[in-house]
Structures are given as structure tokens and as C-alpha cells.
Chains A and B, each alone.
Chain A
């Protein structure tokens, strides 16, 4: 976990608010020579200290262990090789040409080599811990991997304990596997409460300020962010990011540490802006910090500047591509039977029947529908004022729109004869496109006109 200081590594008891779980794990581990539970399953939300607690505990007690993140292992071989390397204390490095100690293709070899490795290192009397972080990835590997890890101490005859760390519950593992394996011991890491979050974040108080001052700042921060975010890492990040702004009046000499009300009025709009920009990662943290240092205007103006993720709403397209995209949008969100009414010169009378109208749900809610190429071209010709020849250029623009993922082809990819498409852009986007060519989309959308 990021932000782990050296002092926390020294003593597992200094990990805040996880005393119960640590005590439980320690009592499960017992003495190094004692046999342990064959497998322990630890689950909890993101940032509840699962990895921190387990790795700190194993490091401080100096127990032989292999800590492997399953996301880093694409194949079974990578996973098994890495575990064996860690158990043997072997580190791939330039000296050994980044080679693993063993070549281990399958579970059968792994079990044999594990026993050999522990005997080579002389730790066959101690419990060896194999920690598999992000263990939900094991479900996508070969079918025998997960049951074999659960039964590993029985299969290998070693004193070995497998710790599985995951964010999802145990029921979602092994649903189709049957039950011929040892059920793991299950430990839940509950979410931090508001008070606990406060206590943890207060530990990284910057120098020069008192802990009370910092924790009152974090309290203010949480009053805005706690509703949407209980992730410790995220809140910690935001607290560090916005602290310079908070203490700005003090450094300028406009306020003192006691003027909490003044500081609050200063910071509140700033934090609310941060909720919409930094938290959604529309503005990178670096830009945000740079902006705070530059102090130009209001923070919200950042969004209108170039180089920002939400700038996708503006896109430079060729003239006819814009019309093609508008036509595609109209074809996707309008029912085909109203095309005559919108796009032909002298359509029939509009019948009004209130009964039918009520049943229909908004097409904006249902999402885009597929339409054939003919319909797209018909709408395109009716909304473009000038005469456009159906050249190869126009048709290649349609396929470029598909490549740009503004349109999506539905059904078979190789269909040349009347292919079907869907329009995959939002209303906001199409309105901004239409504005550039001076076309009122809303007037042509059934949902808004009826």
C-alpha cells in the first residue's frame, strides 16, 4: 500500500484500527513449527488494509513467505515459477539473466518442487506462507489451480498455508467446482468507519502544523467527500492535494490556525470544484497542483482549456461527416415510422392519439437502435441542403466514423449489402456538432418534439 512509512513496517501493532484482524491472524499462525490452517481467505473492500496487514505481519515475524500478485501472472507457469522463486529467496536479476530457479509447467511439478525447495532451504519444519493477492484472478486460470492451492498442504505434505486476498466473497469462487477441497478459513476486513478514517489520515500530518489542526481539516474534507467516497487511498490523496490551498490564508497572514470559520469559507467552494474535477480525473493531480500554485482565476475554468479528458465533447470532423453523424443520431433515436413527418416536404396529417403516446418510453432512455444504411443516406440527403453526389468519399467517411467509434456496426462485420449501424455518441456531443454547422437537432428529435 502506498504511504506505508518505515515505522509501520517495524511493528504490526502500529497498524491502526486492525488490531482484531491482526490478533486473529497471529493466533492462526501460532509458532513457526506449528501446523497452520491449510488456507485462509481474506476479503474486504478496496483499501481496507488486507495487503498491508498480511505483508507487514509476515515481514516483521520474519516468516518464510511468497507474496505474489495474481494480476501480474498471465499464465500458470509464471504464477508457479514466481511462488517457487520467492519461497527459495531467489530474485531474478541481471546476474542470473532474469531466469527463474525452476521450470514449473503444472501443478504436479509444483507440488514436487515446493517440497524440494523447502528442504533445500532448510525450512521444512516451519510454516511457509503463500500469499496470493487479487486471488479472484485464479478463477480464470486452469480449473485445477484453485482446488490444488486449497489442498496444498495435504498434496505436498509440507507445512504450508495459502492466504488468498480478494475483494469478492468466497461464494463467487468455486461455484462450479464441487466440494472436494478443504474449505478455507474466512476472515472479513470490514470497512473503516468515519472515525477510523480520520484517525488514520491524521497520522500523515505535515510538519509545522499540529495534529488537531490537520484532523479538523480532514474532518472538513470528509464532510464533502465521505458521501461519495469511503476509499482510504482516495481520501488521503485528496487531503494531501488540497492542503496547500487550505493553509494559504495562514501563509499569507490573512488568518491564523484558530480561524476555522474563515478557513472553511475559503476552502469549501474549492473542495466542491475538486469533487467534480480531480475526483473524476478530468483534471490530473499534477494540473491541479500547478493551477493551485499559479492561482489564476477560478478552478472551474480548467475544464474549458485544451488537454483535458472531457474535451472529447469537441471534435474536429469534416463537413459531411458532421452531417452523417447527425443523420445517424436521428436515425438511431427516432422511430422509423415518423421519418416521413420529419424529413419529407408534404407529409400526411399528424394524428393525435393521447393513448398511444403515454405508453412509449423515451428513446433517449432506451439507448440507440440499429438502422440500415439506406435510412441513414435518406436522412442525410434530406438534412443537407446542397446536392451531394454519393461518391466513394461519402461512404468511406461512414466507415471512418465506425473506426473512430462514433458509429458502431451491428451484426456481421463482413456485410456489404445494407449493413446496419448504431450511433454511439451522446446528446451533448451531437448538439455541439450540430451547433457548428448551424443545425437544430432538437427540432428533429421525436422525444422532444412530440
Chain B
């Protein structure tokens, strides 16, 4: 069968996107994660650091590496992209500032680590080659500066995915900047701070050098100012509501995307809520943010246990009882079965047959409320709870009788 048949594509949008008309719709459009603002608040210091690093290397005509780390949602990629666009603008304005080539690459978008070579070669020269061949070509390219004047900035996002057993890709990427004529500046972005020590061989981490930068998680004040800066000139939120969202997110992860998502959800909730009598239109208040937070942070497991069928609840209780009796956190299916049947008898229910209990057990396992081993030994199969025993007791407390 021809391969051409199965090319994935996204169907074309029939109706154009709605342009926001109301205040809350405006707010929602601005709060969207994709609406990156021109200047990132609360990252001025990091911006300056990266900017001076790249600029000095470009002006000197040398190469170097910088390793940038930080938990997700702290603005690493956004800051680096902003630095690049700023430099690009400077090139356009300032005649003395040298031109540079920017190569962007994301480890997540590669099917295989060695594809990095193919991508870089294509971005630099437009050539297409196999991974091995392009690695050789790139080696030659960076060793001799023949016919090339511009410095190159290589931006590698999600660095940890370029890891291979021999670490050849990582080695090459960090070895090229140290070549005398390469004039290559590598900006590597990853999530963990100790990645060079953890997964890289010594000769790679030493080539990476000591220019490292860590993006700290946002504090609640920073998160608050990020949200506020996006909502400038819009009367959509109560200030306390933003603070609540910021404080909650900062306490858990300090992820800006999470804070924006919660605020967006809160606008949706405010829109569906009954309009208050005041003429100014709906304002997002504390209670909307609170509901959005509850939706996003609370675990659905307790809800799932409350909504489960009676036999499923009895099975969960049987597991908890068995754990309490044996004092272990694991029980074979046959023992839980005995407990299950005795609970049924106590409650005056007709005890189910083994096949039915197996079906109940399988259903609970498929929604990951309990964990099962591999499927070989049926009655001896060991069962563990994926929630704490207290949660089971709490969820089934008022449903038990």
C-alpha cells in the first residue's frame, strides 16, 4: 500500500476565530499561554545575564556554552527566545553589530537523538544527509571557517532527550564550540539542575563548562505581577482573586502556565455564573478562583470512589479490612475475596460469585484505584491500593451503611 495515503493533517477551520468583544473574553485571550507578551516580567535579571553572555561571545567572535535549567513553567524558553529576538532587532538597527545565524532545535520534536545532526545541517546549509554523514559534515563545517563569516547561535531545548548510550550527540554539541574557528554559541535548556553531573560523562560536562543558570520557581508576588501585567487596562479580576490563585500555585509548583490556566478557568466560571445586579458586568471574584482551584488541584480519586458501584465499594473496603488485619500493604486476591464475601453477608447482600468479583477487581484496576501484578496467577494475584487507606475510609464513610 502506498505510504502517501496516510499523511496526517489537521482539518481546516470552517468559521474564523471569534474576535473577543466582552471584557472577560478579552481577558481570556490575553491569559492564554500562547499569547506571550513582548516583555517578560520578573525575569529581567536572567534576561540580562543571557543577553550579555550571547552578546559578548558574538562581539568577541568566540564560542561558548550555557546551560539553563529550571522546573517547567518558569519561563526558560520564553526568556531565551526574547533574548534572541532582541539581538535580532539590534542587528537590524545597529550597523556595527555582526550578523548571526540562529538554529533552534527541540529534543522532544526529534524522532531519534541522532536526527539532531540532520536538523542542524539542514538549518545551516540546506543540505540533506543521513545522520552519520551529517555528523561528519558538521565536524568539517565547524573545524574550518572557510566561506563562513557569521557566528552561529544554537538553541537546544529539552536537552535530556538527546541522551544516547554513547552520548555521541551531546558530546558533539558541546565539543564544537571549543573548536578555535567554530564561533558557535550553544544555549542548552533542560529541567534538572544536576543533569550534567547525573547523565553526562565527565569529558562532556567539562566541555559544557561552568556557565550555568537556574531559573527559580516563581514566588507568589511574581506570579501575581505576571497575571496583572497581562490584564493591564482590563477591569476583569478582583485583585484578591489574582492573589489567591498566585499564592496557591506558588505553594505547589510555581508554574506560570498553571496560574494562567486557573485564571482562565475562573473567567469561564464567572461568565456562566449569574450576573450580579451591578451594571459593570461580571467580575472574577474569590469564589470563582476557588472553584477553579478545586477543579484543578483536587484528586478525582475520592470522587471516583464515591461514585463507584456498591460492589466496587465493598471490594475497596474488603481490601482495606484485609490490610488492617494482616498489617501489610499488599494482599492476594483470594484473601480479599473472602473479606468481600463476608462483608456482603454482613450487609445482607447476596454474595457474588468469583467471576463477578474478578470483573469488579478488573474495573477498579483499569481506573487505577488499585494496582495489580501481571496476569499470570489469578487467585494469588497480589493487590495493592493506589490511594491511601485513609482516603478509602473517608470516601466510603457515609456510603458504608
Which residues from chain B contact A103 at a C-beta distance below 8 Å? Answer: 1
CB of B365 within 8 A of chain A?
yes
CB of A171 within 8 A of chain B?
yes
Inter-subunit contact B366/A180 (CB<8 Å): yes
Kindly state the separation between the CA atoms of A175 and B362 in the bound complex, as whole angstroms: 7
Inter-subunit contact A172/B372 (CB<8 Å): no
CB of A178 within 8 A of chain B?
yes
Inter-subunit contact A175/B378 (CB<8 Å): yes
Inter-subunit contact A178/B362 (CB<8 Å): yes
> Would you give the shortest CB distance from A110 to chain B, in whole angstroms?
12
Inter-subunit contact A176/B355 (CB<8 Å): no
Given contacts A109-B1, A176-B372, contact A171 B365 (CB under 8 A): no
The dominant DSSP class at the A interface is loop
The dominant DSSP class at the B interface is helix
CB of A250 within 8 A of chain B?
no
CB of B299 within 8 A of chain A?
no
Interface string of A95-122 (1 = CB under 8 A from B): 0000000010000010000000000000
CB of A313 within 8 A of chain B?
no
Inter-subunit contact A179/B1 (CB<8 Å): no
CB of A437 within 8 A of chain B?
no
Inter-subunit contact A175/B375 (CB<8 Å): yes
CB of A170 within 8 A of chain B?
yes
Instruction: Indicate which residue in A109, A139, A171, A177 contacts B358 across the interface (CB closer than 8 Å).
Output: A171
Which residues from chain B contact A139 at a C-beta distance below 8 Å? Answer: 375
Given contacts A109-B1, A175-B375, A175-B381, contact A169 B355 (CB under 8 A): yes
Closest to B333 in A: A175
Closest to B357 in A: A171
CB of B363 within 8 A of chain A?
yes
Which residues from chain B contact A384 at a C-beta distance below 8 Å? Answer: none
Interface string of B348-371 (1 = CB under 8 A from A): 000000110011001101100000
CB of B298 within 8 A of chain A?
no
Instruction: Indicate which residue in B1, B363, B366, B378 contacts A171 across the interface (CB closer than 8 Å).
Output: B378
Which residues from chain A contact B1 at a C-beta distance below 8 Å? Answer: 103, 109
CB of B276 within 8 A of chain A?
no
Inter-subunit contact B366/A178 (CB<8 Å): yes
Kindly state the separation between the CA atoms of A171 and B377 in the bound complex, as whole angstroms: 11
Interface string of A155-190 (1 = CB under 8 A from B): 000000000000001111011111110000000000
Interface residues on B, range: 10 to 19
Number of interface residues of A (CB under 8 A): 14
Which residues from chain A contact B359 at a C-beta distance below 8 Å? Answer: 171, 179
Which residues from chain B contact A172 at a C-beta distance below 8 Å? Answer: 375, 378
Inter-subunit contact B362/A174 (CB<8 Å): yes
> Would you give the shortest CB distance from A166 to chain B, in whole angstroms?
15
Closest to A104 in B: B1
Inter-subunit contact A178/B378 (CB<8 Å): no
Interface string of B150-173 (1 = CB under 8 A from A): 000000000000000000000000
Given contacts A178-B362, A179-B362, A180-B366, contact A170 B378 (CB under 8 A): no
Given contacts A109-B1, A171-B378, A172-B378, contact A179 B355 (CB under 8 A): no
Which residues from chain B contact A177 at a C-beta distance below 8 Å? Answer: 366, 375
> Would you give the shortest CB distance from A80 to chain B, in whole angstroms?
14
Kindly state the separation between the CA atoms of A171 and B362 in the bound complex, as whole angstroms: 9
Kindly state the separation between the CA atoms of A177 and B362 in the bound complex, as whole angstroms: 8
Kindly state the separation between the CA atoms of A170 and B1 in the bound complex, as whole angstroms: 37
CB of B374 within 8 A of chain A?
yes
Which residues from chain B contact A169 at a C-beta distance below 8 Å? Answer: 355
> Would you give the shortest CB distance from B360 to chain A, in whole angstroms?
10
Per the 8 Å Cβ criterion, residues 175-222 of A in contact with B are 175-180
Which residues from chain B contact A171 at a C-beta distance below 8 Å? Answer: 354-355, 358-359, 378
Per the 8 Å Cβ criterion, residues 25-75 of B in contact with A are none
Which residues from chain B contact A175 at a C-beta distance below 8 Å? Answer: 358, 362, 372, 375, 378, 381
Give the A-B contact count at a CB cut-off of 8 A.
34
Which residues from chain B contact A170 at a C-beta distance below 8 Å? Answer: 355
Question: Which of A109, A174, A175, A178 has the most CB atoms of chain B within a 10 A radius of its CB?
Answer: A175
Closest to B366 in A: A178
Kindly state the separation between the CA atoms of A253 and B374 in the bound complex, as whole angstroms: 66
Kindly state the separation between the CA atoms of A180 and B375 in the bound complex, as whole angstroms: 17
Inter-subunit contact A179/B363 (CB<8 Å): yes
Question: Which of A139, A172, A179 has the most CB atoms of chain B within a 10 A radius of its CB?
Answer: A179
Kindly state the separation between the CA atoms of A103 and B372 in the bound complex, as whole angstroms: 37
Which residues from chain A contact B354 at a C-beta distance below 8 Å? Answer: 171
Inter-subunit contact A176/B374 (CB<8 Å): yes
Kindly state the separation between the CA atoms of A169 and B354 in the bound complex, as whole angstroms: 12
Closest to A169 in B: B355
> Would you give the shortest CB distance from A288 to chain B, in whole angstroms?
40
Which residues from chain A contact B378 at a C-beta distance below 8 Å? Answer: 171-172, 175
Kindly state the separation between the CA atoms of A5 and B374 in the bound complex, as whole angstroms: 45
> Would you give the shortest CB distance from B265 to chain A, in whole angstroms?
28
> Would you give the shortest CB distance from A81 to chain B, in whole angstroms?
14
Per the 8 Å Cβ criterion, residues 318-351 of A in contact with B are none
Closest to A172 in B: B378
Which residues from chain B contact A180 at a C-beta distance below 8 Å? Answer: 366
Inter-subunit contact A176/B375 (CB<8 Å): yes
Kindly state the separation between the CA atoms of A172 and B333 in the bound complex, as whole angstroms: 14
Kindly state the separation between the CA atoms of A170 and B358 in the bound complex, as whole angstroms: 10
Closest to B378 in A: A172
Interface string of B224-262 (1 = CB under 8 A from A): 000000000000000000000000000000000000000
Closest to A178 in B: B366
Which residues from chain A contact B365 at a C-beta distance below 8 Å? Answer: 176, 178
Interface string of A287-321 (1 = CB under 8 A from B): 00000000000000000000000000000000000
Kindly state the separation between the CA atoms of A177 and B359 in the bound complex, as whole angstroms: 12
Kindly state the separation between the CA atoms of A139 and B362 in the bound complex, as whole angstroms: 16
Kindly state the separation between the CA atoms of A109 and B3 in the bound complex, as whole angstroms: 12
Kindly state the separation between the CA atoms of A174 and B374 in the bound complex, as whole angstroms: 10
Closest to B374 in A: A176
Which residues from chain A contact B363 at a C-beta distance below 8 Å? Answer: 179
> Would you give the shortest CB distance from A263 to chain B, in whole angstroms?
47
Which residues from chain A contact B366 at a C-beta distance below 8 Å? Answer: 177-180
Kindly state the separation between the CA atoms of A109 and B358 in the bound complex, as whole angstroms: 33
Closest to A173 in B: B375
> Would you give the shortest CB distance from A114 to chain B, in whole angstroms?
14
> Would you give the shortest CB distance from A18 to chain B, in whole angstroms?
23
Which residues from chain A contact B362 at a C-beta distance below 8 Å? Answer: 174-175, 178-179
Closest to A108 in B: B6
Closest to A116 in B: B1
Kindly state the separation between the CA atoms of A109 and B363 in the bound complex, as whole angstroms: 29
Sample (17) of A-B pairs whose CB atoms are under 8 Å apart: A103-B1, A171-B354, A171-B355, A171-B359, A171-B378, A172-B378, A175-B375, A175-B381, A176-B365, A176-B375, A177-B366, A177-B375, A178-B362, A179-B362, A179-B363, A179-B366, A180-B366
Q: Which residues of A contact B (CB under 8 A)?
A: 103, 109, 139, 169-172, 174-180
In addition to A170-B355, A171-B378, A179-B363, 17 A-B residue pairs with Cβ atoms within 8 Å of each other are: A103-B1, A109-B1, A169-B355, A171-B358, A171-B359, A172-B375, A174-B375, A175-B358, A175-B378, A175-B381, A176-B374, A176-B375, A177-B375, A178-B362, A179-B362, A179-B366, A180-B366
User: What 7 pairs between A and B have smallest CB-CB spacing?
Assistant: A178-B366, A175-B375, A176-B375, A179-B366, A171-B358, A179-B363, A171-B355
Q: Which residues of B contact A (CB under 8 A)?
A: 1, 354-355, 358-359, 362-363, 365-366, 372, 374-375, 378, 381
